[in-house]
Chain A
Amino acid sequence: MVRFENVGLRYGHGPEILRDITFSLERGSFRFLTGPSGAGKSSLLRLLFLKLKPTRGFIHLFDRDIACLRHADLPALRRRIGVVFQDFKLLDHLSAYDNVALPLRAAGLRPDVYRSNVRELLEWVGLEGQADMFPPVLSGGEKQRLAIARAVVAKPELLLADEPTGNVDPALATRLLHLFQELNRFGTTVLIATHDPHLIATTKFPVLALEKGRLN
């Protein structure tokens, strides 16, 4: 599903943030991406959700070489990827319900088609009572769960999460991890970037360890 071959990335004329990255993610797999702050985890995720293009090497995503993608090809591929951002990237002027429904609206679905799905998902993440509330009044944990609900609402084939437990207490972190595992059981490939060793230790999933831009 995902294959990186000798991928390098630099911002402008700066030093290489990522160097000779080679790995692959099989369909239905679950991986952690770990490493100290500044190791390049977020940059690697940006490459995966097509926010950036590598400065060298090849990336194959869903059997497509991303170097050959046109601007018009991006939406269809991005709809197959769900992303939980470290800073959530929720839209403050939309309610929790509308934030979760956003990927479905963007895909052109009518409200009556997705209404029950969105309600169900809000219930799944424990936010059914906050559906009409706006992100600024939600707690860190609630925002985190909302971001997860938005990332999975369109049933993505690949789920990327950047520090999804960074703003929550250990109990909620474990609950969120169970949510990801449940999604993985339904066939979604999951890659979680975290520098929380306790989170990694609670499962037996393989780890991609980044250090100074290289995979160990």
Chain B
Amino acid sequence: MTPAPIIPVDAQPMRTLTLSMAVMCYLATLALGALMLVEAAVSQWTSGIASEITVQVRPLSTRDTDHEVNEALRILSTTKGVSSVRKLDSTAAGELLKPWLGEIRMFDELPLPVLIAAAVDQHEPPDLAALQKRLAEKVEGASLDTHLRWQSQLVRTAATLHRLSIAILALIALSATGLVVFATRSVLDANRHVIEVLHLVGAKDSFIARAVKGRFLKSAFFAGLVGTVGGILTFALMGAFGAPVGDARLAEASTNLLIAPPTVALATYLVFFLVPVCATFLSLVTAHLAIMRQLRGT
């Protein structure tokens, strides 16, 4: 015959704690997922930006633009570390300007700068300072855009979002700690007569703490699992139904987070399932400290 639990199983504060902890774990899973989405997106954008440079040749009335463009193409092609060079024609330039200027038919009449996109070998990048100097010397009206400004801005934004996510996770952990302390006190208050009897029959505080913590272990782990599975389902729903109503890229990123590629998905699940583990650990440690502190005062 297994001994019955010393703390009644239907203690009301435990049900409230389980529900609140499930919500906390759900929010923590969302915050972690958002953090991973931001990191994946930034890494994708940064590598895209870093692998390409752009040379802009402004048309000048004093020079032959085609000659200047050809010279720029020659310089780029002969630069070590530049793997390919591509001149954007006026249609492509028009496409780039469309979001700002709209659908107009005067692109050919406008003195638009000619854009040359050059792919960079990331393992052996070109000497950009030397390239800039050569272009300035040989090509009138040329300017080199290395996208460094965008890259650093992206890194700054990513760092801010990273810190924000960490702060949200810290706040969630703090709130969860507060909840556990509150629930511990409520459980001890609700079972004051049980604690009194246990003390009178010679139970040590550690014995009572174990009996109470046993309930927290089950509640926190169950709540953690429910919250985490809820969070994963949210990302899955964003992946499945995000495209028609929102940004298709967010939906795609959400799907990628969970199902492809396999190594990324596995890492994601491992990180997600740290949530119930951390919630259980946090609950146990907090409950133990709160119980021992309260029992010492009785």
Report A's interface with B, CB cutoff 8 A: 49, 51, 71-72, 74-79, 83, 89, 91, 93-95, 97-98, 101-103, 105-108, 111, 115, 150, 154
Q: Which of B45-53, B83-91, B197-205 contacts A (4 or more CB under 8 A)?
A: B197-205
| CB pairs A–B below 8 angstroms (30 shown) | A49-B200, A51-B200, A72-B205, A74-B199, A75-B199, A75-B202, A75-B203, A75-B204, A76-B202, A78-B201, A78-B202, A79-B201, A79-B202, A89-B196, A91-B194, A94-B6, A98-B3, A98-B4, A101-B3, A102-B6, A102-B197, A102-B198, A103-B201, A105-B6, A106-B203, A106-B207, A108-B207, A115-B1, A154-B201, A154-B202
Within the complex, the shortest CB–CB distance from A113 to chain B, in Å, comes to 12
Apart from the given pairs A91-B6, A93-B4, A103-B202, 20 other A-B contacts in the complex at a CB distance below 8 Å: A71-B296, A72-B204, A75-B203, A78-B200, A78-B201, A79-B201, A89-B196, A89-B200, A91-B193, A91-B197, A95-B4, A98-B3, A102-B6, A102-B198, A106-B202, A106-B207, A107-B202, A150-B201, A154-B201, A154-B202
B-side contacts of A91, CB under 8 Å: 6, 193-194, 197
Residue of A nearest to B7 (CB): A93
Q: Could you tell me the distance between the alpha carbons of A199 and B191 in the complex, rounded to whole angstroms? A: 35
Within the complex, which residue of B2, B193, B201, B205 is in contact with A102, where a contact is CB–CB below 8 Å?
B201
Chain A, residue nearest B9 (CB)? A93
**Docked CA distance A182–B46 (Å):** 87
Instruction: Knowing A75-B203, A102-B198 are in contact, say whether A93-B8 is a contact too (CB < 8 A).
Output: yes
CB closest residue in chain B, given A134: B4
State how many residues of chain B have any CB contact under 8 Å with chain A: 20
Instruction: Provide the bound-state CA to CA distance between A86 and B86, in Å.
Output: 96
Q: Enumerate chain B residues within 8 angstroms of A154, measured Cβ to Cβ.
A: 201-202
**Neighbouring B residues of A101 by C-beta, 8 Å:** 3
Query: What is the CB-to-nearest-CB distance from A86 to chain B, in angstroms, rounded to a whole number?
Result: 13
Chain B, Cβ-Cβ closest to A76 = B202
Q: How far is the CA of A72 from the CA of B197 in the complex (A)?
A: 16
Residues of B within 8 A of A111 (CB): 1-3
